[in-house]
Structure 1
Amino acid sequence: MSSSAGPARHLLFVLLGTGGDVWPALGLAKAARDAGNEVEVATYAQFEPEVRALGLGFHAIGSREEFLATLCNPVFWSRHGSRLALAEGGYLRLAIPRVQAVISSMRERRPVLVCTRNAFGARFAAEMHGLTCVSLIYSPQQLITPQRMPYPVNGPIMRALPRWYWRAGLRLGDCFGIERLRPTLNQLREPLGLPPIENLRDWLFFGTPGLALYPAWFDDLAPLAGAGIRQGDFVLRHVDESEVLDDRLEGFLDAGPPPVVCTLGTGIAHAAPRYAQVARALARTGRRGLFVTPFDENIPREFGAHILRVDFANLACVLRRASLLIHHGGIGTATQALRAATPQIILPFYYDQADNGDRVRRLGAGTMIEGPVPDAEALAEAMERCGALPSRPLESLRQRIRSGRGAQACFETLENLLMPPPRAGAGRSTMTQEAWQ
C-alpha cells in the first residue's frame, strides 16, 4: 500500500442493479484491494466470476433469475419501477434480509460499507450496527435539488423561475413519486427498531456520505460538499483495446465499412420494437449494424447479413471501429462512446437516461430521440445528423476521458471520505440547508 494511503480497512461493497451499476463499482473495489485493503462484494450470482477474477471476496444476495424477473418487466422501466422492485418478490425487497445477514456475520470486524443507494439492507445495517456507509452516485440526476433540476425542466425559461417555485415543485413532485416508497421502507424498518424516515429524498440521497463516479467537468458537485458529497472520475468497464475479439465478430468488422452499434442495456429485454426500427433504418440508409444484447427476445425475427447480433462486446475495441452508437442512455455506455469519439443516438427509456442523453447532446457528441419507439425515418435522419457532427468536440471529449484517472481517483476520494472522524449511517438527513436554498 502506498505511503499516502490510509490504514488498511475491511470494505464490503453491496451492489444492486444492472451491469451499469455493478461494473464501475468493481473497478473501485479493485483499486481499494490493490491499495492493501481487504475487499468483499455482495451482489447477484451472475457477477461472481468477474468478482472472483479480480481477487475479491464474494457473497451472493440473489440469483440472476430473481433479478431479471423484476428488470425484464416493462413496468420496471416506468415511474412505477421502484415500487415494483420493493413489492413482495421484487429484487430490492428480496435483497434486504440477505444483505443484512451478510453484514451481521462480519459486524464484529466493523466493515466499511460501500453501496448503491438502493441497497436498503446495507443502509439499515449501517444504522443498526453504527457502521460507516458510503453511497455511490452514478449520474447527475441522482442528486436533484431545487438548484439542480434534471432534463427536461432545466431549460433557460424554467431556470428563470424563482427558487421558491422549485422548492415547492420538488416537494410536490416527491409526493407523487419517491415519497410513495416511504411507507414500505418504514414498514420494513420498524421490526428492526429503526426510526421512521421523515423525508425520503433527504435520507436516500443525502443520508450518508456520497461518492460520485464521474468528474466535475461533467457535473460539478462542489455546492453539495457540505452535504458530504465528493467527486471522483468515470470508471469504465472497457479500456483494454488490445483484447482479441472472437472470430465471428472480428470477421464482421473486417468485412465492410464501420458499422452502427446498437445496444439498449443489460437489463432491458422488451426492446424488440426499437431494435426492429433500427434494423429498418439501417436498411434505409445502406449501413451495417452490430446489435449487442443478451436477450433473444430483443432481436427482430428477420434481418439481413448486414446485421450481426452478439450477446456481449468489448466496447473499447468495437467502438473505435464503429461509425455510430445507438443506446439507451446509460451513463457508462455514453462514456464509452465519448472515450472512443464515436457519435451517439440516445433512445431513453426511464430513470436518468434522458438527462444523460441531454448532456451528451449539449456536449456536441450526439443526439437524442425521445418517445416510446422512434420510427425508422427519424432514426435515419438522426444517423445523418450524427454523421455531420464536427470532429473537434468529439476529439476533445475523447482526450478528456482518456486523461482521467478513473478508479484510482475514485479510490483516493473514498479514502478522503473515510478520514476520521468517520460518518456513521444515520436515519436522519445529513443534507445541508444550503442545498435547498
Structure 2
Amino acid sequence: MHSPPHFIVCTGGTKGDLYPFLRLACGLAAKGLRVTVLAPEVHGEQVRAAGLAYEPNLSEARYHEVLDNPLLFDPHQGLKALFSGTDQELLDARAQLLRVAAGQPAVLLCHPFYLFAGGLAKAAQSSLRVVGAYLAPSNLRTLHDLHYLGPMPIADWLPLAARRLLWQQADARYVDPVTLPGLNRVRAQLGLPAVEHGFLLHMQAQADLSVALFPSWFGPTQADWPQPMLEGGFMLHDGEAHQALPPEVEAFLLAGAPPLVMTLGTGHKHAAAVYHAGVSVAQRTQRRLICLTAFRQQLPDDLPPGVLWAGYAPLNLLLRRCAALLHHGGIGTVAEGLRAAVPQLVLPFAWDQFDNAFRVQALGVGLSLPAKKANATRLSRELLRLMQDAERITQCHRVAALLAHDPDADTLVDRLLHWSITP
C-alpha cells in the first residue's frame, strides 16, 4: 500500500456539473486527504465556502461567452460550440494540472471533458493517475443500453451491427470533425501522435479508473464501458446546514396550493420560448408556477398572478413542496426530482437530456416532450397526462426509496481511496 495521494478534483460547466464533484471533494477532505478543486471562477465562492482549496480553471468572462452561444443547446451543434478554438485552453488545463500536481503522486478526479487534459498531463508525469467520473449513462458510449443517439431515438430491436454503423456515422459527421483537429494540433505541439478517429473512445481511454455517478437501476453498467469501473449513485450535494429557500419563494409556497416548478438549467440563456409556454400553461390550467432562471429576461415582463420568478432556489428544499417539476433533463435536476418523489415533465434540448428523459419515463415517474415541440398547447396536454395519473405519485415514492440503498459519497470515497493507495 502507498501513502494517499493529492486528489485534484476538476470540473467545468454549471451547477449541475459542479455539485457531484463538490460532494466527492468534501468527502475526500473529511478523510483528512489533501484535496484541490479546479472549477470555473463563477463557482469559486461556493467551493471556498465548503472549506476546500480552490483554483479557477475558467474565467467568469469565458464561462459566459460559452453560455451566450445558442448553439451550445443545439443537439447537433453543441460539441462544435463547446470545442471550437479551445487549443490554448487545453494547453492551459494541462499546465495547470502539472503545476498543481507538482511532480508528486496525485489522482485527478475529473469531468469527462477534462480527461483530455488529464491524459496529456499524465503523459508528462507518470505519478499522476486519472479517474473519469461520468454524471449520466449516455456520457459513456455503448452499443447495448442505447436509447438515444443525441436527439435520435434508437429502437430496442435494432441489431448491434446497425447500432455500430450509427455510431460511426455520428462520429464522422458530428463529433470527430469538430473535436479532433484541435486536439491533434495540441498533441502535435507536445510531440504526441495524432488521434485518427474516435474522439469519444479516446476520451474514455484516458482514465485509469472510471466511476459512474448514477445508480445501476438508472443506468446499468454495460459490457462495453471502460474498465475498471466503480458503480456509484447520484452524488447529491445539499449545501450548507443553514441553507434556506429565498424569502419570496417561502412566502409563495405558504400562500397557496403546491405549485409547479419550471427550471431549464442554471446556465441556459436561450430558453425564453419554453418559459413563456410554461407561463401560458399555468394560466390555462389555473396552477401556480415558480420559474427558476438566473436570466430574468427569458420570462414575460409582467408575470400573471400565481407565477413567481426566482433566480435560484435549492431544489432539495423546494421540490418536496411542489406538485410537479418541468425541466430540461439535466442529470442533477433529474436526480433531485427522483429524490423528492415529484412527477417530472422533461423537456430535453441537447446533450444527455434526451436519454435522461427516456429513463425518467421508463421508470414511470414522468413524461418527455422535446423542448422544440414544447408550445403551450402540447405542454398543457402533457402536463394534464402527467398530473391525472394517480399511480405515478405512488411510483415516484417507490423510486425515491431506491436512492437510500445506493452507494453514498462516503462509500465511493472509501473505494477511491483504496484504489489510489493500491499499487
TM over 0.5: yes
Unpaired runs of at least 5, structure 1: 422-437
Identity %: 29
The change in CA–CA distance for 1:184 and 1:243 in structure 2 (over 3 A counts) is closer
- 1:343, 1:394 within 8 Å by CA — same for their partners in 2? yes
**What SS class does the counterpart of residue 356 from structure 1 fall into?**
helix
Residue 182 of structure 1 aligns with which residue? 180
The change in CA–CA distance for 1:336 and 1:240 in structure 2 (over 3 A counts) is farther
**What SS class does the counterpart of residue 257 from structure 1 fall into?**
coil
Alignment of 1:111-130 (within 5 A): 111-119=106-114, 120-130=116-126
Residue 394 of structure 1 aligns with which residue? 396
How high is the TM-score relative to the length of structure 2?
0.91
The change in CA–CA distance for 1:358 and 1:184 in structure 2 (over 3 A counts) is same
1:195 Cα shift? Answer: 2.0
1:249 Cα shift? Answer: 1.4
Residue 211 of structure 2 aligns with which residue? 211
Output one character per residue of 1:173-195: Cα deviation in whole Å (capped at 9) or x when no partner: 21112212112211111111222
Alignment of 1:330-369 (within 5 A): 330-369=330-369
Question: 1:43 aligned to 27, 39, 42, which one?
Answer: 39
Residue 235 of structure 1 aligns with which residue? 235
- 1:240, 1:317 within 8 Å by CA — same for their partners in 2? no
Residue 68 of structure 1 aligns with which residue? 64
Residue 90 of structure 2 aligns with which residue? 96
The change in CA–CA distance for 1:197 and 1:212 in structure 2 (over 3 A counts) is same
- 2:4, 2:417 within 8 Å by CA — same for their partners in 1? no
- C-alpha separation in 2, matches of 1:412 and 1:311: 36
Aligned residues: 412
2:290 paired with 1:322: no
- C-alpha separation in 2, matches of 1:343 and 1:8: 43
2:196 paired with 1:201: no
1:402 Cα shift? Answer: 3.6
The change in CA–CA distance for 1:405 and 1:202 in structure 2 (over 3 A counts) is closer
Residue 169 of structure 2 aligns with which residue? 172
The RMSD of aligned alpha carbons is 2.1
1:34 Cα shift? Answer: 0.9
Paired letter, 2:108: L
* Range moving further from structure 2, 115-124 or 328-337: 115-124
How high is the TM-score relative to the length of structure 1?
0.89
1:295 Cα shift? Answer: 1.0
The change in CA–CA distance for 1:154 and 1:285 in structure 2 (over 3 A counts) is closer
- 1:14, 1:122 within 8 Å by CA — same for their partners in 2? no
- 2:78, 2:351 within 8 Å by CA — same for their partners in 1? no
The change in CA–CA distance for 1:222 and 1:7 in structure 2 (over 3 A counts) is farther
Paired letter, 1:145: T
Unpaired runs of at least 5, structure 2: none
The change in CA–CA distance for 1:336 and 1:93 in structure 2 (over 3 A counts) is farther
- C-alpha separation in 1, matches of 2:263 and 2:160: 39
Residue 415 of structure 1 aligns with which residue? 417
1:300 Cα shift? Answer: 1.7
- 1:239, 1:316 within 8 Å by CA — same for their partners in 2? no
**What SS class does the counterpart of residue 267 from structure 1 fall into?**
coil
Output one character per residue of 1:258-297: Cα deviation in whole Å (capped at 9) or x when no partner: 0100100011101111100000000000001101111123
1:222 Cα shift? Answer: 5.4
The change in CA–CA distance for 1:333 and 1:373 in structure 2 (over 3 A counts) is same
The change in CA–CA distance for 1:222 and 1:168 in structure 2 (over 3 A counts) is closer
- 2:205, 2:226 within 8 Å by CA — same for their partners in 1? no
The change in CA–CA distance for 1:357 and 1:73 in structure 2 (over 3 A counts) is same
Residue 107 of structure 1 aligns with which residue? 102
- 2:235, 2:409 within 8 Å by CA — same for their partners in 1? yes
- C-alpha separation in 2, matches of 1:410 and 1:72: 35
Alignment of 1:131-142 (within 5 A): 131-142=128-139
* Range moving further from structure 2, 21-30 or 241-250: 241-250
Residue 270 of structure 1 aligns with which residue? 270
- 1:264, 1:293 within 8 Å by CA — same for their partners in 2? yes
Output one character per residue of 1:380-401: Cα deviation in whole Å (capped at 9) or x when no partner: 1222211123132111111112
